[in-house]
Amino acid sequence: MSRGAAFIPPGATLGVLGGGQLGRMFAQAAQSAGYGVAVLEADEAAPAAQVTGIHLAARYDDPLALDQLARDCAAVTVEFENIPAASLQWLDARVPLAPAPQSVAICQDRAQEKALFTRLGVPCAPHAVLRAGSDGSVVDADLFPGILKTARLGYDGKGQISVACAADLPAARAALGGVDCVLEKRLDLAYELSVVMARGRDGSTVLFAPQQNLHRNGILFASFSPGPAITPEIAAAAQNAAGAVAQGLDYVGVLCVEFFVLRDGRLLANEIAPRPHNSGHHTIDSCTVSQFELQWRALVNAPLLAPRQHSATVMLNLLGDLWFDAAGHQREPDWAAVLAQPGAHLHLYGKHAPRKGRKMGHLTCTAATPDEARQAALHACAILGLEPFQDETAPSLAVLAAPEGGVSSFGTAVRN
């Protein structure tokens, strides 16, 4: 519903659906500018629930809680894409909501994301959509070896299985519960990157520079900004593609598009998040305007200021694994040593139960140059007992072929 274009001044209450760390950092950013924040989240101890003035402890489809959110809030956003569509539509009819339910619905579903990329002419991985109960025997042999991904609800590599050949497909589909899936060809990745951007109700658009992302076991391990392997051509192509996606969705709010860069130099879109993204957390400490500030600015119709990056950064995710020693006994990481490091910005999300693979916080290492940020992050890895990343982002990766057909074969000019 296109309404709510008037500026909402500080003092108003903004609502957020979802109470994880993204909601917490959104709330902290909005609160620092004088906005109140209400969160809808069932978990009493959730990261965002700890910091917001109003916590509606209910499910995302609770009619009373949704009604209160609509009455208390001047505008509402999401920190989590898997909010039921019916709840978003109900809210959209009553209170300014950004992003729109239709944008969120597309980002909830890998099959719809792929269809959007195809419609917009943004290259993505060769794939096939396998609907629940459909015959998978006709799948193109060229998609193997592949990765079978549930169309919905996957995150941090969950809901994905490698499939070596067509004969393994039925068992893989069964293992994922027989739900709608997308089979993607396994690609020969040189590296990964993402573009975080914001778009206002008036179509004004600002973009951060792409960051280079290193995943381990399907989970983001580190983000580098600037990325050692990202050429200006790849950066421009990724920003153009992200801009085209935002414009194609008539998107309002903060959006992230993840990309793969293949060893042959091609840039392919991977997936879209209709919200700030883990890879953009460094912007809190490295830029004049963070991704969370842009989220509330887009929501209250304040000008979207173009961010200027003042520091080079490497962001390290702090997973629950760090809270366990080699023998599996729980311990506390050596925060005193981390905090003694100049340029190290510690962000912990207030999660009480560390579990392996659980995102407990992140550490952003800022410095005057990319090399210094990299050295600082390697030092932090040594303190925390993290496997260093020396070879995985080697600068030699920057020597890659230009993407076929030039860099601006698709995409729409974006206003910056």
Cβ-based nearer residue to ligand ADP, 116 or 125: 125
Question: Could you say which of ligand ADP, Mg ion, none residue 157 binds, taking C-beta under 5 to 8 angstroms by partner kind?
Answer: ligand ADP
Question: Could you say which of ligand ADP, Mg ion, none residue 155 binds, taking C-beta under 5 to 8 angstroms by partner kind?
Answer: ligand ADP
- The answer to the question of residue 147 lying near ligand ADP (CB under 6 A) is yes
- The answer to the question of residue 125 lying near ligand ADP (CB under 6 A) is yes
Provide the minimum distance between the beta carbon of 1 and ligand ADP in the complex, in angstroms, as a whole number: 29
Q: How far apart are CA 396 and CA 406, in angstroms?
A: 21
- Applying CB under 6 A, which of residues 45, 189, 382, 401 lies at the interface with ligand ADP? 189
Scanning 47-55, 154-162, 234-242, 379-387 for contacts with ligand ADP by CB under 6 A, the matching segment is 154-162
Residues making contact with Mg ion (CB under 5 A): 258
Structure tokens at 333: 């990481």
Provide the minimum distance between the beta carbon of 261 and ligand ADP in the complex, in angstroms, as a whole number: 11
- What number of residues does the chain have? 416
User: What residues have CB less than 8 Å from 382, skipping those under 6 apart?
Assistant: 388
- Applying CB under 6 A, which of residues 84, 136, 218, 248 lies at the interface with ligand ADP? 218
- The answer to the question of residue 126 lying near ligand ADP (CB under 6 A) is no
Question: What is the residue type of 135?
Answer: D
- Applying CB under 6 A, which of residues 66, 104, 163, 187 lies at the interface with ligand ADP? 187
**Residue whose entry in the numeric block shows the structure tokens 């490295």:** 286
Cβ-based nearer residue to Mg ion, 22 or 373: 22
- The answer to the question of residue 152 lying near ligand ADP (CB under 6 A) is no
User: What residues have CB less than 8 Å from 63, skipping those under 6 apart?
Assistant: none
Question: Could you say which of ligand ADP, Mg ion, none residue 189 binds, taking C-beta under 5 to 8 angstroms by partner kind?
Answer: ligand ADP
- The answer to the question of residue 410 lying near ligand ADP (CB under 6 A) is no
Scanning 31-39, 181-189, 338-346, 353-361 for contacts with ligand ADP by CB under 6 A, the matching segment is 181-189
Provide the minimum distance between the beta carbon of 219 and ligand ADP in the complex, in angstroms, as a whole number: 8
Question: Could you say which of ligand ADP, Mg ion, none residue 187 binds, taking C-beta under 5 to 8 angstroms by partner kind?
Answer: ligand ADP
Cβ atoms of 196 and 279 within 8 Å: the answer is yes
Question: What is the residue type of 169?
Answer: L
Cβ-based nearer residue to Mg ion, 94 or 215: 215
- The answer to the question of residue 215 lying near ligand ADP (CB under 6 A) is yes
- Applying CB under 6 A, which of residues 41, 79, 109, 192 lies at the interface with ligand ADP? 192
Q: Which of 247, 228, 248, 260 is nearest to 396 (CA)?
A: 228
- The answer to the question of residue 157 lying near ligand ADP (CB under 6 A) is yes
Name the CA dihedral angle for 29, 35, 41, 46, rounded to a multiple of 10 degrees. Answer: 40
Provide the minimum distance between the beta carbon of 361 and Mg ion in the complex, in angstroms, as a whole number: 19
- The answer to the question of residue 270 lying near ligand ADP (CB under 6 A) is yes
Residues that bind ligand ADP (CB under 6 A): 125, 147, 149, 154-157, 184, 186-187, 189, 192, 215, 218, 258, 270-271
